[in-house]
Structure 1
Amino acid sequence: MIEIQINNLFVVQNQIERLGRGLDDNRYLLMRRLSGTMHAAVMTNFRQGGRPKWLGLKYRNGKPLVDTGALRGSITELADNDTALVGTNLVYAAIHNFGGMAGRGKKVRIPQREFLTLTGQDKQDLMDDVQDYFAGLIG
């Protein structure tokens, strides 16, 4: 049998109450931080030419997805009390992110170049953000 003894019950209860208030009152700060971390990760994807590297260009010189900078410049972040989002409203973004057939008659193959993706380290950074947030609530 495992027995757990809490010697400072008042302190533990106080911290649990602070956590509850922090989660009820203002999760926006956490969501804002998470959207910022995701946005930074997507910008790193553009700077590094993909993580993993995107397939090179076939018909022109330069780096994929950064010819005019419009796609990179369209990446926005949004946060509210319940949501952290990063994305773009450009109609052609999906075909570049997921790959597929495009053009007239869908005869042009666009290779997948995921820019809206997170690496393992990015996901760890998000977990660190969450842990820091909770530590701040009880600290």
Structure 2
Amino acid sequence: MTTRIEILTSGDATKVLEQIAQRFNDLSDPMNEIAAIMEGATEDAFAEERSPVTGIAWPALSENYLKQNPKRVGGQMLQVSAGGLASSITADSGAFWAQISSNKPYAAIHNFGGLPEMAPGPAAIDQRQYLGVSPDEESDILAVLSHYFTEN
């Protein structure tokens, strides 16, 4: 069973309702801003070597890893070179979505960490979360949406 409600209004109310409907039809502008906020949170996570969600510092690189990679001693944990993970992060958005992503096959394991049953070395690594937003960035996202729906 389908229910239909019709509301008859004066010209001004109809105009406002049409504007609201149009705003919901394509959210590309606020989604683009939201993608930029998420990308900024990720860039900050790499720069500060902290989870963007909790603010907790990433675990130090293992002694074994540092022995195998002496150039990494005292350096940044995740690659920040031109071809590294940090530089692979891209933001994208559309009418109803915003995302950040990486084309690196190892991106997920760095963000989520390996499992204890995985072999040591390339798989069983500590989580170094770089995706997500802080409460402040979440407030920024809500402000973008609020501004979009309340501006004239």
Q: What pairs with 1:118-137 in structure 2 (closer than 5 Å)?
A: 118-136=133-151
Q: In the alignment, which of 99, 103, 107 is matched to residue 113 of structure 2?
A: 99
**SS, match of residue 110 in structure 1:** coil
Moved over 6 A (4+): none
* Equivalent position of 2:3 in the other structure: none
Offset at residue 14 of structure 1 (A) = 3.7
* Equivalent position of 2:77 in the other structure: 64
Identity, in percent, stands at: 25
Task: Please give the TM-score of this superposition, normalised by the length of structure 1.
Answer: 0.79
Task: Give distance in 2, aligned partners of 1:132 and 1:85.
Answer: 20
Offset at residue 27 of structure 1 (A) = 1.5
Q: Does 1:88 align with 2:89?
A: no
Q: What count of residue pairs does the alignment treat as equivalent?
A: 126
Higher share in strand? 1
Offset at residue 19 of structure 1 (A) = 1.3
Task: Give distance in 2, aligned partners of 1:76 and 1:65.
Answer: 16
Aligned pair in 2 of structure 1 residues 11, 53: CA closer, same or farther (>3 Å)? farther
Work out whether residues 28 and 79 of structure 1, in 8 Å CA contact, stay in contact via their aligned partners in 2: yes
Q: Any unmatched runs of 5+ in structure 2?
A: 1-9, 67-72
Aligned pair in 2 of structure 1 residues 12, 65: CA closer, same or farther (>3 Å)? farther
* Equivalent position of 1:4 in the other structure: none
Task: Please give the TM-score of this superposition, normalised by the length of structure 2.
Answer: 0.73
Aligned Cα RMSD in Å? 2.2
Task: Give distance in 1, aligned partners of 2:18 and 2:37.
Answer: 28
Q: Any unmatched runs of 5+ in structure 1?
A: 1-8
Question: Deviation string for 1:36-95 (max 9, x for gaps)?
Answer: 111111111111111321112231321221353511100001111121111112001111
